[in-house]
Structure 1
Amino acid sequence: MALERYKPVALDIETTRKRWRKDPAFAAAYDAMADEFAALAELVRARQRAELTQADVAERMGVAQASVARLEASAGSRKHAPSLATLRRYADAVGCELRIMLTTKRKALR
């Protein structure tokens, strides 16, 4: 019997997200987490701009690589929500400054 090779299936995230967003419950839940997705995406972008791996950041922070992976994947998880101190350490590790800004909410169009 010949060995079968593993053939990964490509996943088009945008197409999949558009299909899932047709479900009103999914769309509402996804929209409720938009700020968390944006914040976590910013962490990953900052690390990538610094041309660092998760292991590099972990070493600079003095934590395990798994901790950085968990931090970057913690959207919606209240159990692993990072503290400001952790975010500051991450920012420092990737050569950034942590800034937090509050802005006026946009009024819904009527």
Structure 2
Amino acid sequence: MKLEGEQTLMRIFVGESDRWQRKPLYEAIVEMLKSEGFAGATVLKGVMGFGAGSVVHSDRLLRLSSDLPVVIEVVESAEMIENVLDRLDEMVSGGMITLEKARVIRYRPEEKK
């Protein structure tokens, strides 16, 4: 699948310690997106942040946190993202999902020989 033109950027904000069926939530989400045929997903681990509970989590040496912020980023068609929002709603209990338009300039999947 080749993405180009206007697509949707979805960001899923969760905590590193969040779980879904005994595995890290971010891992379960990426596996679900892959099984749904998404073009790709990236998991980014934050060094510091706070959420709705206003508790600051940091990776500072003296205050090591076991719940650093994690963001999963996906660029895909609006239709594919809409198709997984109900599943994400079940999985994400203490995070946030944002959606915005994104202009894809280039995407080159590997050609299979």
TM-score class, shorter-chain normalisation, is: under 0.3
Higher helix share: 1
The two structures have a TM-score, normalised by structure 2, of: 0.27
User: Which one has more relative contact order, counting CA pairs under 8 Å at least 6 apart?
Assistant: 2
Higher strand share: 2
The two structures have a TM-score, normalised by structure 1, of: 0.28
Which is greater in Rg?
Answer: 1
